[in-house]
Structure 1
Amino acid sequence: MDIKYNTVIEKNTFYFVNSEFEEEFDAKTLNNIRVLILNLKNDIENTGFKKKLFVNFIQNNNFGLKALLILNGISNETLKRIITIARIVKDKDLSKLFNIEHWNLVDNNDDIEEFSDRTINSLIKNNTKFAEGIINLFFEGASNTFLYNTLPLFELNKLNLKKLKFDKDEMIDTLIRYNQKGSYSARKENNPETIIDNIISELGLKYEKGDLPQLIEYENTKKRTMDFIIPNKKKPKIIIESSFLTTTSSGQGDKSKTESNIKELIKKYYPNSQFYGFVDGIGWYVRKKDLIRMVKSYDEVFTFHKDELERFKSIVSNIFNKS
């Protein structure tokens, strides 16, 4: 054991480095984007700040869209989520912003799959109206009512025309937001579970987090840390798991299967308790097969919509006879 441990400690390379790949990536990708951004800046100075310039920019350059995302500090994942939301909600103004009626695509709301990078790039090159819609997002997205009410302010404020105009203050803002993304995401106040915490506190109830004792004792390899156990682990009446996903991953399938197994264990060892799930976010919306398996695991399922929060509060109140 000590030999194996010492091998990892003493022979640790710290970071994997493939010099040939690093040099190629720097030359072909990073340098290309750098040159594109500088050329775009020159074109704006020479021909003026016009939508058509940006439409041509993303249609004629393989890294054009990526360059604009970098200028605004917007991740590729965020862009794909916004496009998916626009396809789902069919909001009149948002659809007009994106020119959705000109995409020549038929969406089935019951089974919308997120566009791949290849699909987005193909649509940009071959459908000018789609390309114009993407540029409209950068130009007018921050003033769209639906996006204003849906996107976090941290993300909405990235859609700022001054960034595309290479305003120095806005470039600094992009760098700051990029650097602070992790801290922003990790803040307790930015965690939707805080809302559940607040409702439980408003009702004058207590809760615990962690593993359920009987699962530790009898099913240790299958135990699962619970987000909320009301009022306590010893005599739980309500057990809650929360999953708010704005991204998608193959792990969602594993999670949905795990929750199903946990439900069976809870019913076996805690038959008088209720197993509730808060399942929300665009990440679940676009993985409907996983979502179907996931929601079957719970006695009740809620989202963080205000109506659902009131329903949750009412149900918990009735269980504990709180008025």
Structure 2
Amino acid sequence: MLERYLWSSRSATSAQGQGRDLEDQIEEIVKNLGLSCSMRGRFTGRGGNTAPFDLAIPGENNPLIVGAAKGFNSTGSKLSDAVREIEELADLRLPRQFVFAFIDGIGWKRREADLRRIYNLWENQYIDGIYTLVHLERFKEDLKNVAVRHELL
């Protein structure tokens, strides 16, 4: 399904992502839309619990949008930890919050079970989007739609 499609575009992802960090590209999209954001921090979610984020819009603590950017060229426990961070965002999100996951890197290709866990979060509407480098235009459109609907733009 989605994961097969995401990985069928892998060579384009590599070419597009040379020399650029996944988080930097995400931040650039957000700022080019004219939105403010915080990168790499913690947000407060359900029950007053906190979780780490890689992206928060419009800012820290109680943002409208949170994201986890997990680009790995390694394998093993780092990828499982990344999945747990995305799951934690999904678990702690408030009803009005949006959660986006950004995944990229060759290490994910060997971690099909971890990719499936992320895909299941999206399929069951625990997160609002999954993106790789080749899908950042789709993220831009999704972000713009959320921002307009919630009067951030």
TM-score range, shorter-chain basis?
0.7 to 0.9
Bigger Rg, structure 1 or 2: 1
Q: Number of aligned pairs?
A: 135
Q: For 1:1-323, list aligned pairs within 5 A.
A: 150=15, 190-209=20-39, 210-214=41-45, 218-219=48-49, 223-266=50-93, 270-297=94-121, 298-305=127-134, 308-321=135-148
Please state how far the C-alpha of 1:234 moved relative to its aligned partner. Answer: 4.8
Which AA in structure 1 matches 2:144? Answer: S
Higher RCO (Cα < 8 Å, 6 or more apart): 2
> Unaligned regions of 5+ residues in structure 2, if any?
1-6, 122-126
Which AA in structure 1 matches 2:102? Answer: F
Please state how far the C-alpha of 1:314 moved relative to its aligned partner. Answer: 0.8
Which AA in structure 2 matches 1:213? Answer: T
Question: What is the distance in 2 between the residues matched to 1:286 and 1:196?
Answer: 24
Question: What is the distance in 1 between the residues matched to 2:78 and 2:22?
Answer: 20
CA RMSD of aligned residues (A): 2.9
Question: What is the distance in 1 between the residues matched to 2:115 and 2:146?
Answer: 27
Task: Note if contact 2:35-2:57 (Cα within 8 Å) is conserved in structure 1.
Answer: yes
Aligned sequence identity (%): 26
> Unaligned regions of 5+ residues in structure 1, if any?
1-87, 90-145, 154-188
- TM-score in terms of structure 1 length: 0.37
Please state how far the C-alpha of 1:300 moved relative to its aligned partner. Answer: 0.8
Decide whether aligned partners of structure 1 residues 151 and 273 sit closer, same or farther in structure 2, where only a CA change above 3 A counts: closer
Q: Which has the larger share of helix? A: 1
Off by >3 Å, runs of 4+ in structure 1: 149-153
CA offset digits 1:219-247 (Å, max 9, x no partner): 3xxx3221111112354221111001112
